[in-house]
Amino acid sequence: MNSEVRTIDPTPFAAAFGRPLTSSLGIKPGLCWLPISSLRIDPAYQREIFEGGAKNVLKIAKGFDWALFGVVVCANIGQGLFAIVDGQHRVLAAALRAIEEVPCIIIEADPKKQAEAFAAINGAVTAIHPLSIFAAEIAGNKPDAIALRDACSKADVNILRYPVPSKNMKLGDTIAIRSLQECMRTYGADHLSLALRAITRARPDGNVGHVKAPIIKALCHVLDAEKSWCKPEYRLISVMGAFDYGAELDQASVLARKNKRQTHTELAVRLFDYLDDEIGA
């Protein structure tokens, strides 16, 4: 057993919880497998499935896996039929795969209570941070995540599992997961690794706290626009040692607000001018 797994401990929340709104817990739901042919969708509270929802249905269907399916929440509406409260996308995906039955939790609820349950389930979802999603993808050996982790490790960059203030970061720490993923897709692993090394290896302190989204994107863009600056690598790293990432990023942020442009765009202009002066064509 993994020694890092935790028990369910509500103690830290007890003081804030206080007293419950009611002593009733409602009717305990039942668990069973139901045929998809007996499930129905109530348009009074269920959303229509348009482009975004359709893409989600197709994605689930193409990569269908029971371990990722979960349980469908539904309510008994009589005559052997059940209204789906939560899970219509998953049920449609299962139907596409010619699956006949899905696991369901059956709640006792009239239409009003069904709508309340739908709102509660879909409106009280805790947003999962992209860093946590990436950590889960690493644990699940997802190829794209592994490739990004490896590209970062070649520059001594560590993608954190949760947000941390820059002042508390260690050498190579970053939370810029979305920018890293974007640059990986756009420029490839080797180019991204080089851009990151231009941050972490340019100064003895590794530019701690500056493996940030605008800096990563600006470096990748500039080094792609003028590939001659990438080699020899030791020259690029040496030249970037005199580039003050903190001060330059601050100036770029000010100019971005003034010129109504993105920070990484302004930083790219400053970075290009700097490398053009130091290295040239």
pLDDT of residue 116: 87
DSSP per-residue string spanning 93-138: HHHHTT--EEEEEEE---HHHHHHHHHHHHHSPPPPPHHHHHHHHH
Contacts 24+ apart (CB under 8 A), 171-174: 171/200, 171/205, 171/206, 171/208, 172/200, 172/206, 172/208, 172/211, 173/208, 173/209, 173/211, 174/211, 174/212, 174/216
The rounded distance, in Å, linking the Cα atoms of 18 and 12 is: 12
| Domain boundaries along the sequence of the chain | 23-123, 130-278
pLDDT of residue 2: 53
Q: Where does 23-123 sit in CATH, by number?
A: 3.90.1530.10
The rounded distance, in Å, linking the Cα atoms of 128 and 142 is: 18
Which residues fall within 8 angstroms of residue 61, CB to CB, at 6 or more apart?
A: 92, 93, 94, 96, 97
Strand-strand pairing, 72-78 and 101-107: parallel
Report the candidate in 95, 87, 81 with the shortest Cα–Cα distance to residue 118. 87
For the chain, state the CA radius of gyration: 26
Residue with tokens 């490790």: 153
Ranges in the chain, pLDDT < 50: 1
pLDDT of residue 94: 95
212-258 residue pLDDT tens? 999 999 999 999 999 999 999 999 999 999 999 999 999 999 999 99
pLDDT of residue 1: 45
Helices (H) and strands (E) in the chain, counts: 12, 7
